[in-house]
Structure 1
């Protein structure tokens, strides 16, 4: 465990705090005025995040998933029901990415991956982008959207998020 002190502009406080919380297991932030300027001092106790475990296996991630045919229907209907230009929510992007991951896994198991793996990876990246820029309603444990492991294995992130969503939905 260690103590971090930051001196920054007051307008940067939220961004600095969020970045530190993303990088470390951080405690509450204590804020004080800086002694000689209009800036602020931030103090927090932090520790290294524990090493995350492996991604959920496809079997574990999709244990509660409906059939792929049903998911195709849900995805198509949800996209069709939204007026043009309306933002599709996180559930849509998560279920679409999970569906495409399942299709790619099936193709890979059959020995004919084709383009399905690339399409599934792109859908996973779209979910990650949504989670990075959205309201923060992702699970993110042990890997959050900005984690280097997420960039290295976007489909693993989909499985993590889908497993949590399916269990708690």
Structure 2
């Protein structure tokens, strides 16, 4: 943990606070007038953001997953049983994204360039939107990480 002091124009304080919050885990910002009376002093306690967890390899992420055929059946039944299903159903989107990722991995291993990779990426992005994930990583890696956590807790 460390303390940051910034002297800036009062019009820039919101932008400076937002930038610091993006770069660090920050505490409340204390604001005082600068000695010159025209600028503002900002004091903030900050810490480095924790390193993101490494992405598990597909074999590790999907070690506890049912067969692809079984997951296709579950996904189809779940979608059919809920004509007005809640789009925020995280389990559905996680399992669907993981299923599409597994299909895309199989295609990629065979050297195929079908739509599976694009569909897997779009489903992964939907899951990240649903989770409001503030991480910058490959969306399919995010799915693998989240699926591994989910599968261990089932």
Given the two structures, how large is their TM-score scaled by the length of structure 2?
A: 0.72
What displacement does 1:3 show?
Answer: 3.0
Rounded to whole Å, the distance in 2 between the matches of 1:52 and 1:104 is 24
Q: Does 2:154 correspond to 1:166? A: no
**Equivalent residue number for residue 82 of structure 1:** 82
**Which structure 2 residues correspond to residues 30-45 of structure 1 after superposition, within 5 A?**
45=45
**Equivalent residue number for residue 140 of structure 1:** none
C-alpha contact 1:97 1:127 (8 A) present in aligned 2: yes
**Equivalent residue number for residue 136 of structure 2:** 148
**4+ runs deviating over 4 angstroms:** 29-32
Tell me: CA distance 1:49–1:108, structure 2 relative to 1, closer, same or farther (3 Å): same
What displacement does 1:49 show?
Answer: 2.2
**Equivalent residue number for residue 126 of structure 2:** 126
What displacement does 1:2 show?
Answer: 1.5
What displacement does 1:110 show?
Answer: 1.0
* Equivalent residues, number: 136
CA deviation digits over 1:8-45, x for unaligned, max 9?
A: xxxxxxxx89x94x75345xx5698x789xxxxx9864
Structure 2: 5+ residue runs without aligned partners? 6-16, 34-41
RMSD: 2.9
CA deviation digits over 1:47-104, x for unaligned, max 9?
A: 1124435311101100110101111111111111114263351000000000000000
Structure 1: 5+ residue runs without aligned partners? 6-15, 37-41, 133-144
**Which structure 2 residues correspond to residues 66-105 of structure 1 after superposition, within 5 A?**
66-84=66-84, 86-105=86-105
